[in-house]
Every structure is written in structure tokens, then in C-alpha cells.
């Protein structure tokens, strides 16, 4: 795949054009990355009681569902968000990954994974007591994501 950038100071609005022989998974992935980078905000509105908080995504360790409420966990606090998990999956940057039916984790913040062959494995984060489980069905996806990050892809 070739990448070419043309600079034209006469255009009114920037446009990205992808030319391809066929629509394949690589082109679709590129489209999603571009859309995500253009629509992605670096922070969401979080709530704690009647107070609104504006936190950068990088501060979030994980999101989890508890009784129909979505909680966003930081190193030393917990906030609520109005988004559903499936909405967060679409809006969050690539560092965030679904790890169970009820949780999304920030893979940049994972310190360790205690593997359990018969049930869920336990994810730990640095500088906090907070932990979360990755279900067996999502474990391979998480390991692949961490390997991809380790290799710099």
C-alpha cells in the first residue's frame, strides 16, 4: 500500500481519499482508524453525584457495568458515565478493548495478568489496588492486542 499526501492551500476542506482495487479488511481497518481519529475526543464527561468531571481518556483504567450503570475507574476514583459499553467501544481510542460482556480495559494501563486456565484471568494495574477480570472468551484477543503493542504495530 502506498501513502501519498498532497498539500493544496486552495482547498476549503480537507479530504482523505483511499483508492483501492477492492474493499478488503485492510482498507476497512484504515477507514475506521481515520474516522476514529477525526471523531475521537480525548475526554468524556463523567459524573459523581451532581458534579461533572472532564477527564482525559488516558486516566481511565477500565469501564465496567454494575447494575445497569457504567463506571469509569481511575487509579484512585470511580465515576459514572451516561454512555453504554457498546457506545464506548466505538468512541474510545484503540488502546481500549472489550474484555468481557461487562467491561472495557485501557490496555496501556495493564501491569499484569494472572492467568487462570479454568476461569477468568485477573488483570492488575500499577499504583492501585483495583483489578478486573478478563473472561476466557476475550483472553486471546487481549493477549493479541498486548503482543501487537509490544511489537509496535
The whole-angstrom separation of Cα 62 and Cα 102 is: 11
Q: Which residue range(s) make up the domain with 65?
A: 42-150
State whether residue 56 is helix, strand or coil: strand
In a domain, 142, yes or no: yes
State whether residue 79 is helix, strand or coil: strand
CATH number at residue 56: 2.40.50.1020
In a domain, 11, yes or no: no
Strands 51-56 and 43-48: antiparallel
Cβ neighbours of residue 81 under 8 Å, at least 6 residues apart?
Answer: 44, 45, 46, 47, 63, 70, 71, 72, 88
- pLDDT confidence of residue 34: 76
Each of the 153 residues of the chain gets a pLDDT tens digit; together they read 777 788 888 887 778 888 888 888 888 888 877 776 665 556 788 999 999 999 999 999 999 999 999 999 999 999 999 999 999 998 898 899 999 999 999 999 999 999 987 789 999 999 999 999 999 999 999 999 999 888 876
Number of domains into which the chain is organized? 1
In a domain, 16, yes or no: no
In a domain, 132, yes or no: yes
- pLDDT confidence of residue 18: 85
Q: Are 85 and 74 spatial neighbours (Cβ–Cβ below 8 Å)?
A: no
State whether residue 3 is helix, strand or coil: coil
In a domain, 33, yes or no: no
In a domain, 3, yes or no: no
- pLDDT confidence of residue 26: 84
23 CB-contact burial (10 Å; exposed 0-12 / middle 13-18 / buried 19+): exposed
Question: In this structure, what DSSP letter does residue 107 have?
Answer: G
In a domain, 90, yes or no: yes
In a domain, 100, yes or no: yes
- pLDDT confidence of residue 36: 63
Amino acid at each position: 500500500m502506498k501513502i501519498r499526501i498532497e498539500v493544496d492551500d486552495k482547498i476549503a476542506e480537507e479530504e482523505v481519499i483511499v483508492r483501492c482495487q477492492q474493499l478488503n479488511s485492510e482498507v476497512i481497518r484504515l477507514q475506521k482508524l481515520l474516522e476514529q481519529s477525526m471523531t475521537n475526543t480525548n475526554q468524556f464527561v463523567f459524573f459523581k453525584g451532581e458534579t461533572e468531571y472532564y477527564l482525559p481518556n488516558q486516566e481511565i483504567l477500565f469501564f465496567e457495568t454494575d447494575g445497569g450503570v457504567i463506571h469509569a475507574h481511575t487509579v484512585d476514583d470511580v465515576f459514572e458515565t451516561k454512555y453504554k459499553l457498546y457506545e464506548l467501544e466505538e468512541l474510545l481510542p484503540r488502546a481500549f478493548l472489550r474484555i468481557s460482556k461487562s467491561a472495557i480495559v485501557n490496555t496501556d494501563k495493564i501491569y499484569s495478568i494472572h492467568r487462570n486456565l479454568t476461569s477468568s484471568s485477573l488483570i492488575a494495574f500499577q499504583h492501585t489496588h483495583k483489578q478486573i477480570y478478563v473472561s476466557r472468551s476475550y483472553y486471546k484477543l487481549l493477549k493479541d492486542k498486548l503482543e501487537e503493542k509490544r511489537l509496535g504495530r
